Amino acid sequence: MGRIGVAIKNWSDMDPHLLLLLFLPALIFESAFNSDWHIFKVEFGQVLIMAGPMLLGSTYLSALMMRYILGYTDEGVEDDKKFSWTASLLYGSIISATDPVAVVCLLKELGASKRLATMIEGESLFNDGTAMVVFLVLLDIIEGKELTIMDIVLKFARLSFGGPVLGILGGMIVSAILRRIHNNAVLECNTTVFAAYLVFFVAESTDLHVSGILAIVALGLYMTGTGKTRISAESEHSIHHVWGYIGFVAETMIFILSGIIMG
């Protein structure tokens, strides 16, 4: 296919960290920023239950399935083919992350209540962050790092709570900046885009080492609850349209890249 084939090959060999940096801030912030804050507050308790204890339960049950139903164990096999209990839990954390895009679209077409759609979408936002935290903790154990119970608890707490704190601080700074901008839709939109990517980069690629996903979720929810009041009335409609388009492009590119890599 000439240059198109070369481009497809380059895309298929993309560094995973670059993939996350390009698409995760856009997808997560757009979903959180366009959610209904008042409905989300009502559903917040159920969202936390589904994204916390329910995800941990799903991870554990998936690990049980791998070992006792599918037979992936470390008994009676060669060293390079062993599948330890920790590896089963790691696999469980990967497949426990949900993608509600198709479900939410279907609920909207069927005219289902907005509370149900908000609960599913909100659960997905926190679910992704929790699954990533569990994955990172288990990955350290599999890589052979000597971790005590206290080390695991502290790492889990830093990732789980450090990300939201960073996101809220970022939201406060962005709100203060937006308050000083009046009737400039381009500048206000650029501020939100820059903030989403900067917060994710600071969380994931600096010495803070907190959850970038949870940081973006907190930033988006802070902006939809408080930050929107700092956006000019004339610019709010344009900003929502721009973020809707960014989310659509990001989702489309993710599915295209998945097909290229798997193909």
In this predicted model, what pLDDT tens digit does every residue of 32-44 receive, in sequence order? 898 888 888 888 8
Helical H runs in 52-148?
53-64, 85-95, 101-110, 114-142
Mean pLDDT across 149-161: 88
What distance in Å separates the CA atoms of residue 238 and residue 46, rounded to the nearest whole number?
32
Confidence of residue 78 (pLDDT cuts 50, 70, 90): low
Mean pLDDT across 131-144: 88
What distance in Å separates the CA atoms of residue 28 and residue 215, rounded to the nearest whole number?
10
The phi-psi region of residue 4 (left if phi > 0; otherwise alpha if psi is between -120 and 50; otherwise beta) is: alpha
List the structure tokens of 208. 């803070």
Question: pTM for this one?
Answer: 0.86
Mean pLDDT across 173-189: 92
Confidence of residue 81 (pLDDT cuts 50, 70, 90): low
What is the 8-class DSSP label of residue 263?
A: -
pLDDT, residue 84, reads 85
Burial of 109 (0-12, 13-18, 19+ CB in 10 A): exposed
